Amino acid sequence: MTGLVKEKVLCKTPVNLLAQGTGFCILAPNMPKKEQKEPVEKTIITKVTKLPEESVKRAYILFLSGPLIGKLMHLENGLTTIGRAPDANIAINDSRISRHHLQIDVSSENVTIEDLGSTNGTFINGERVKKQKLADGDKIQISSTTVFKFALQDKTENIFHKELYKMAIIDPVTNIYNKRFFLERLKDEFSHAKRSKMGLSLLMIDIDFFKKVNDTHGHLAGDMLLHQLAKIIKSMVRGEDVLARYGGEEFVAILRGAKKDGAFNLAERIRLKVESSPLIFEEKKIPITISIGVASLDEVNEHSELCELIKDADEKLYQSKQNGRNRTTA
């Protein structure tokens, strides 16, 4: 019996089968070879990944101040009630908000906020509203302490990290820098002015009879007053200047390169603008005046320490108060 002949040929056998055999193809003897056709190209097996789906925006609220400060909450589709009552979807232990203060309706088309007849009202970006469609970035205030921001995001990390940074340097009521940021920035500006021998001025601004506004019209009126004043001053200072809330009803402004006369003139323009812009709160006109102290770092006033500049501005503000308010002292 004739034995089988092993003949080494180009084999079209799959690789995994060759691994199990000898590495040769076995051909029967005296058998005519079939006409060989061109081999079909092998299919390259790869992992198929899904095409990236269009990112879905989700609705969130991030509390900027109040009992829930720092809390980031996802709003599910449908109604979410916010209030002081234990049965509210988001219960807040704040005596200045109503038991069922507002509701937020999330649908596939839009997100709507509606005040539920609360005592102190719902304010969006400083305006009192009954019912309104929310936009990404809207800031909602429901008491003098509770403020939250609405956001549409596809990734929670984006809003969370961004807002945490802003919470560290921005005052939630006025939307300008806070005292912490101001003090850090003033150190840099003071050092820069000293090295370069440039002018530097500081405005210290205080709202006259602010406590009376709170006592007569409520804390929300006081907050609206703070918000309006910040907006006015911000529109009048330069982009390189730094405006901040120093505390309570006090504001400060760092004026880079400004000499005493220039700073005084700006302070007077601000004071007159504020005096001619009463606060409209619940259809009532509330007059506003401010007192300002101006301190400058120049050839005449060579303050050797940063604290001396702040003390000088504070003393000038005190003089404005003592001399009848609604005035500027430099």
- Residues known to be catalytic: 249
Contact 33, 7 (CB under 8 A): no
Contact 290, 328 (CB under 8 A): no
DSSP three-state, residue 210: helix
- Chain centroid to CA 311: 32
Q: Which residues in 94-129 are b (16+ Cβ under 10 Å) and which e?
A: bebbbebbbbbbbeeeebebebeebebbbbbebeee
Closest among 268, 258, 269, 249 to 328, alpha carbons compared:
268
Q: What is the dihedral of CA 264, 266, 271, 277, to 10 degrees?
A: 170
Rg (CA), the chain: 35
- Give the separation between CA 142 and CA 279, rounded to whole angstroms: 19
Phi, psi of 53 (to 5 degrees): -75, 155
Closest among 265, 237, 239, 262 to 252, alpha carbons compared:
237
Phi, psi of 163 (to 5 degrees): -75, -30
Residue type, 26: I
Strands (E) located in the chain: 5-7, 25-27, 58-65, 72-74, 78-83, 90-91, 102-106, 111-115, 122-124, 127-129, 131-133, 139-141, 147-153, 200-207, 242-247, 250-256, 279-281, 284-286, 290-297, 328-329
The 8-class DSSP code of residue 232 comes to H
In angstroms, the Cα distances linking 130 to 82, 123, 170, 276 are: 15, 9, 27, 28
